[in-house]
Structure 1
Amino acid sequence: MTKVDRRILKSQEAIKHAVIELMSEKKFDDITVQDIADRANVSRGTIYLHYLDKFDLLDKMIGEHINEMKILCASTADMEFAEANLPWFEYLEQNYLFFSTMLASKGAHSFRRQFHEFLIEEFKDEVNILEGKNYGLNGEIILQFIVTSYVGIVEWWITNDMPYPPDVMAEQVGILLERNL
């Protein structure tokens, strides 16, 4: 694996942080590459060295977080829902600025869509309509219900400044998932 220059990492982090800060202040469509460069204290050329444009930058930032959540899912695959949710809510808490901005921003529809699609993939194998409490129900409806609820509870938790700690959220959401899947 090649080692990335610390200056490059530092510039990329400054650029990402600048975008999030700017998105918390105004619509993504109103943000220019020059705004990002000014806030990150880098040149526009530095931004274009790493990203095609501001949309590519946002997509890559979203992709990095979705990828981290995939890794979390893989590492918790054999756990009960309540236990498996704890790393999720801790990750959301650790990345509060990103998630609060993505969920509150009018310009971040892409994040909500990708988050929803990611959860569809993660929960689709959990839906059982062949036996048990969901016998005879439509699997797609159950899946959409669960995923939309999960996105909604995450959005509620983040936009309300995380009124409960991650362990409480993990336990409560885990119980609800157990009851519905």
Structure 2
Amino acid sequence: MFEEAAEVADSYRGDKRITKSKTNLKKALFELLAEKEWGKISVQDITQRANLNRTTFYQHYQDKYDLLHQNMRDMFEVMKEDIFSPLDIDCSGEKPEAYWYVLRFYQHLQQNCDDFAIIINRRYELNIKELLNDFWNDSFLTGIKKTAAADTNRSVPLDIQRRFVISAFAGTAAWWLENGMPYPPELMAESLIKMIQKN
């Protein structure tokens, strides 16, 4: 899904070679992350795995950190678009509106589980706390705007609500991926909505 989104974006700029190079570099990066420590991965390792030269790499990225961060930002942006796109008529009924956004979140994780599992498992080593925080904060605020249910308790300050919800979602998603997705997305969404509404 990420590769398709990147290809569409770059095709509008008229250079599919750029898309292919970036896709190959991203694929090489995540393959290497599954095999070895971040500190032992070099730009040369990445370009060799991607079958590209270093000149091509430096045309797009400053270093391996830039490659990682740009790809993560793109992945998170695609995820947010996937989660918060307008709901269709099939999402109406007894389920609260927030359920469908949470369901999309887990469905997206499931469809892209290999890359997101690497990010979650290596999050401390990769030092991506700021990127993850930005994603969760943006998603929370978008969710507030999208659902009336998210604005139910005015007596609790918004920053406390945000911290509670983010901690619940981030921790549960990490657990779910690290344990091989033991429950389907539908059950995860329903369970989280029930617990948050109860609290």
TM-score, scaled to structure 1? 0.83
Q: Which structure exhibits the higher relative contact order, with contacts defined as CA atoms closer than 8 Å and separated by 6 or more residues?
A: 1
Map 1:16-31 → 2, pairs under 5 A: 16-31=26-41
Task: Show CA shifts across 1:2-31 (max 9, x none).
Answer: 3332x4322221211111111122222221
1:75 to 85, 105, 109: 85
Residue in 1 aligned with 2:76?
66
Q: How many residues align?
A: 173
Query: 1:65, 1:48 → 2: CA distance?
Result: 21
CA contact (8 A) 1:81 1:177 kept: no
Q: CA deviation at 1:129?
A: 4.2
Query: 1:48, 1:4 → 2: CA distance?
Result: 17
48-57 or 165-174, which deviates more: 165-174
Query: 2:118, 2:33 → 1: CA distance?
Result: 7
Residue in 1 aligned with 2:14?
3
Task: Show CA shifts across 1:99-139 (max 9, x none).
Answer: 111111143231x4323332223324335542xxxx3x443
CA contact (8 A) 2:84 2:101 kept: no
What is the DSSP-based 3-state SS (H/G/I as helix, E as strand, rest coil) of the residue aligned with 1:25? coil
2:53 to 40, 43, 56: 43
Task: Show CA shifts across 1:35-85 (max 9, x none).
Answer: 101111211122112211111101111110111122134315796122222
**In the alignment, residue 71 of structure 1 is paired with which amino acid?**
E
Residue in 2 aligned with 1:109?
127
What percentage of aligned pairs have identical amino acids? 31
Residue in 1 aligned with 2:147?
none
Residue in 1 aligned with 2:190?
171
Query: 2:174, 2:198 → 1: CA distance?
Result: 21
Query: 1:91, 1:176 → 2: CA distance?
Result: 21
Residue in 2 aligned with 1:143?
162
TM-score, scaled to structure 2? 0.76
Given the superposition, is the C-alpha separation of residues 175 and 121 from structure 1 closer, same or farther in structure 2, using an over 3 Å criterion? same
**In the alignment, residue 160 of structure 1 is paired with which amino acid?**
N
53-62 or 67-76, which deviates more: 67-76
CA contact (8 A) 1:90 1:166 kept: yes
**In the alignment, residue 45 of structure 1 is paired with which amino acid?**
T
- Listed as ranges, the gaps of 5+ residues in structure 2 are 1-11, 145-149
77-86 or 92-101, which deviates more: 77-86
CA contact (8 A) 2:136 2:166 kept: yes
CA contact (8 A) 1:96 1:158 kept: yes
Given the superposition, is the C-alpha separation of residues 93 and 37 from structure 1 closer, same or farther in structure 2, using an over 3 Å criterion? same
